[in-house]
Structure 1
Amino acid sequence: MLGPAAVGALLFAAGLLVEVRCAVDRCPAAGWSRLLALDAPWALPRLFTAAVFLAVGLTAALAVAGSAARVRWWWAAVLGLGVALGTAKAASASSVVEQSGGRFTTLVVGVLLSAVGLPLLWRAGRRWAVHGATPVTLALTGCAVAVLGLDQVTAVVRSASSSPVALAVATCLEEGGEAVAALLLLAATSAWRPSRRGGRQS
């Protein structure tokens, strides 16, 4: 996990430098500013987080192949979540939903889905004796908190301060926090996925 974490740290540091330079001076070449923008669709920092979520889906797919009976269905749910989160992150789906339905509505729906879905996932994992149900569900909870909570922090900074540097820092913390949560989820799924039927990765 150190390699991906180092790559992510470099990307987000570079993105923050670009955002701050654009705020206080002038942006570098347009191609670089778009490529390293912290919250732009299809920019490298956002694609990094999306790739980590998709790697979670791939790891869960391997767990599906190494599982049997109901355990397979549990990991299939994690697979679906990983792919959905990765696709939504790459396409900036949350921003699109906020623009059409409003920030408050998006937050309420996200909280309700997390509050209902994550406990159900955990209880199913415990009932079906899925090794790693608790750490993986906790990591998913961390992702939900990062995605839903850090966005609100950025919104508060945007409304309370007119400083573009403060907004750049808040955006970096939001996007970087989501990337850290995604990496922790990948670490949990990698550590606990079964590598053979009924077994756990050694």
Structure 2
Amino acid sequence: MDIKSHTDQALITLYLSGEDRAFEELLGRHQQKIYTSIYLFTKDHSQAEDIFQEVFIKIIDTLRKGKYNHEGKFLQWAMRISYNMCVDSFRRNKRRPIVGQTETFDIFDVLQSPERNAEDEMIRSQTHDKVRHLVDSLPPEQREVVILRHYADMSFKEIAKLTRVSINTALGRMRYALINMRKMVDEKQIALR
């Protein structure tokens, strides 16, 4: 049986019927996106790993109890769980998420780019550092939308649902984030290339 060709919903059904490889495939499909979004919120490798594990424990428990009913929208459901766990973690630790650089994991390391030379790589790295710093400087609601949109690759509809705001509010936050980032670039005369 070729498990890779199954939909998420079919993999869930197979897993519930005792096929553990189905869950491994489901995890493999979505772990990078889920982990990356958690990491960008926590900015801490070990905390992101802990939350990631908690997310999949909760997913397994929910599936086994027969409480999953999200009509084939597994990734959005898993992202909501991870988002809520990040929020809970921040409440427990009383700290805010800040996107920044780290030595152990960088989302830009997993992005593919055809043949880069050393100069291009250095410019790219410096530009990404500057953009991360600009994102760090945004108000929390705006920073959250930028992370979810550009780093977790979520649609505005998914962001609105996840953050429990209207689509217009999510769009507005993105708009103001971009305006604020442009202002910072102009005020600080930051060269992004």
Higher RCO (C-alpha under 8 Å, 6+ residues apart): 1
TM-score, shorter chain, exceeding 0.5: no
Q: Choose between structure 1 and 2: higher helix proportion.
A: 1
TM-score (normalised: structure 2)? 0.28
